[in-house]
């Protein structure tokens, strides 16, 4: 049984030490023989670095490394080329000055190793002269591979001035590639985000973006066919463990947790980092998510909680999926590019191509929801888990008053400075709470009479929920608060009844409970409940 390359991104090490390698060399062949300049966006820890390393070895001339793989038996000649590779995630970028100095030092190290006589303090000039020098020395065109090109930008999205200054440095640095065309054999640039070409890659209008190309949809990740072919022995070993019982077989368990990523709306791939973590640790866990969550995403949600509730079944066009400019970046494309959303379906219309986005799998959904909740509250993980059990019991018993008591406790844990005087804020936090606790809740559900704030369905129960917010300053008297809450509760319940939100669920065989929550402040929550009689539901269903 082959070993698992958990955390290993070096192609040569994987091959020579008998690690599992999912053959991606047909893609490498296509890349080499088609266009010359490529760009690929994929989430972190999704195999981009290993892909670049495979390309580097293909251009290194070591054919024996590829024995048994597609590229070995192809007509590729394995001619050796000089390779210049930069991993921007390893280049210090605290300030634009540090970034420039670090780039210069990185290039000077290579210049010294090659015994080239090049002197300059400007990174772009060093880059240009190094490419020329390698071309002259080896009499072969140069292969340039740049990994995580956007790291100096993403590291500072909470400091826009630094990010913008770093962008200017990178724009000048990457911009020299256009003038180097006679000296270049192949250029491949990877990253997480997709900033506009004019923003970062000045003048490189020949750079082919294969991020959403159907031809390269599965260039990173593990398909279900790959799972059976390359991990068969490991799956059979895991089948002997009795703790995996939710589905009929281990492959269905794996797909539930880690599958679901798609860049063409048709084929799906498994997150490779989490898959390897599962086989290595012999347990399901949020391996990819735990490896690092960008702080700027959570900060965006804190500033605008409504972003969070809109993430499910989100619609975007291809142009919207690009992050555009740093100083006007939108949250939704970043959630897609960083791997928290993926393409579930592509709808082709006369005017444009529409991408339906959603969270890819259980790992991302559970871990992300939990992270959102912990970002707003000061509750420990054990207390949140306890709340899950208590709310589940309350909902199963249709005990909404018990649920209200628990929600008050959770909302009370949110620091004062994070509260926002908007109904959407409380709606979003409620949504986060219920999702983190494992309940499938739909926000802004369309029914014949309008849009319901939230719908929660259990096996034999359905909860129709409306939210109201009444701003009450700290000095508001108890009598005024009571009057405002009562008015809002009556208004909310009248809205549910008058618009007939419940009618969509008549005939479902489920008991319908209508609830209105009124938020007056941090933990000041009032509630009104109306359980529609089963007899009434049967009468309505027969009409």
pLDDT in tens, 211-226: 999 999 999 999 999 9
| pLDDT confidence bin for 542, thresholds 50/70/90 | very low
Distance of alpha carbon 376 from alpha carbon 419, whole angstroms: 9
Distance of alpha carbon 405 from alpha carbon 197, whole angstroms: 52
Q: pLDDT tens digit string along 396-447?
A: 899 999 988 888 887 777 665 555 566 666 777 777 777 766 676 766 665 5
Q: pLDDT tens digit string along 329-339?
A: 777 788 888 89
Residues contacting residue 385 through CB under 8 Å, at least 6 positions apart: none
Sort strands 450-457 and 441-447 into parallel, antiparallel or unpaired: antiparallel
* Token pair recorded at residue 123: 């990174």
Bridge partners (DSSP) of residue 527 are 517
Contact 26, 71 (CB under 8 A): yes
All domains in the chain, ordered by first residue: 11-216 (3.40.50.300), 224-290 (no CATH), 295-362 (no CATH), 377-542 (3.40.1350.10)
**Location of structure tokens 């926000």:** 443
Residues contacting residue 136 through CB under 8 Å, at least 6 positions apart: none
Q: pLDDT tens digit string along 98-148?
A: 999 999 999 999 999 999 999 998 999 999 999 999 999 999 999 999 999
**Among the residues of 87-231, which ranges form H helices?**
96-113, 123-138, 151-154, 160-175, 197-200, 224-230
| pLDDT confidence bin for 311, thresholds 50/70/90 | confident
Mean pLDDT of 202-214: 85
Angle of CA points 308, 312, 313, to nearest 5°: 145
Q: pLDDT tens digit string along 450-471?
A: 677 788 888 888 899 888 888 7
Q: Of the ranges 151-160, 368-377, 470-479, which one carries the lowest mean pLDDT score?
A: 368-377
**Location of structure tokens 């100083």:** 327
Residues contacting residue 275 through CB under 8 Å, at least 6 positions apart: 222, 227, 231, 254, 258
């Amino acid at each position: 049984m082959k070993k698992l390359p958990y955390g290993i991104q070096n192609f040569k090490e994987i091959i020579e030490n008998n690690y599992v390698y999912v053959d991606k060399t047909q893609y490498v062949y296509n890349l080499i023989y088609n266009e010359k300049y490529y760009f690929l966006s994929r989430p972190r820890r999704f195999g981009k670095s290993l892909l670049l390393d495979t390309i580097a070895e293909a251009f290194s001339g070591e054919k024996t490394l590829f024995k048994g793989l597609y590229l070995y038996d192809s007509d590729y000649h394995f001619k050796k080329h000089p390779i210049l590779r930069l991993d921007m995630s390893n280049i210090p970028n605290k300030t634009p000055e540090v970034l420039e100095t670090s780039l210069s030092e990185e290039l000077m190290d290579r210049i010294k190793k090659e015994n080239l006589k090049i002197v300059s303090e400007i990174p772009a000039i060093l880059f240009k002269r190094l490419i020329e020098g390698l071309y002259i020395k080896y009499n072969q065109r140069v292969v340039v591979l740049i990994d995580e090109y956007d790291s100096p930008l993403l590291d500072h999205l909470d400091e826009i001035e630094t990010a913008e200054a770093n962008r200017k440095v990178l724009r000048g640095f990457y911009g020299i590639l256009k003038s180097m065309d006679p000296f270049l054999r192949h250029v491949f640039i990877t990253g997480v985000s997709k900033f506009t070409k004019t923003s970062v890659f000045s003048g490189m209008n020949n750079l082919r973006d294969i991020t959403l190309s159907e031809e390269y949809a599965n260039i990173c990740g593990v398909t279900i066919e790959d799972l059976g072919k390359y991990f068969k022995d490991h799956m059979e070993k895991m089948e002997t463990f009795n703790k995996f019982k939710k589905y009929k077989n281990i492959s269905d368990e794996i797909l539930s947790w880690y599958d679901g990523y798609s860049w063409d709306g048709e084929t799906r791939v498994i997150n490779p980092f989490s898959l390897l973590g599962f086989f290595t640790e012999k347990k399901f866990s949020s391996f990819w998510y735990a490896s690092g969550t960008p702080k700027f995403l959570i900060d965006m949600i804190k500033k605008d909680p409504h972003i969070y509730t809109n993430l499910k079944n989100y619609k975007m066009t291809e142009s919207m999926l690009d992050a555009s400019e740093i100083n006007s970046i939108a949250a939704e494309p970043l959630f897609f590019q960083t791997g928290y959303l993926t393409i579930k379906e592509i709808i082709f219309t006369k005017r444009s191509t529409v991408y339906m986005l959603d969270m890819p799998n259980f790992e991302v959904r559970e871990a992300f929801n939990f992270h959102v909740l912990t970002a707003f509250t000061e509750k420990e993980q054990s207390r949140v888990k306890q709340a899950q059990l208590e709310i589940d019991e309350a909902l199963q018993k249709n005990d909404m008053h018990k649920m209200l008591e628990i929600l008050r406790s959770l909302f009370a844990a949110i620091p004062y400075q994070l509260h926002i005087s908007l109904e959407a804020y409380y709606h979003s936090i409620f949504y986060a709470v219920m999702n983190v606790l494992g309940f499938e809740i739909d926000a802004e559900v369309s029914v014949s009479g309008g849009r319901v704030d939230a719908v929660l369905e259990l096996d034999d129960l359905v909860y129709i929920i409306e939210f109201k917010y009444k701003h009450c300053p700290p000095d508001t008297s108890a009598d005024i608060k009571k009057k405002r809450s009562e008015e809002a509760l009556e208004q909310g319940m009248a809205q549910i009844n008058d618009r007939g939100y419940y009618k969509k669920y008549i005939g479902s065989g489920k008991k319908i409970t209508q609830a209105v929550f009124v938020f007056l402040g941090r933990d000041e929550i009032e509630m009104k409940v109306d359980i529609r009689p089963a007899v009434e539901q049967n009468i309505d269903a027969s009409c």
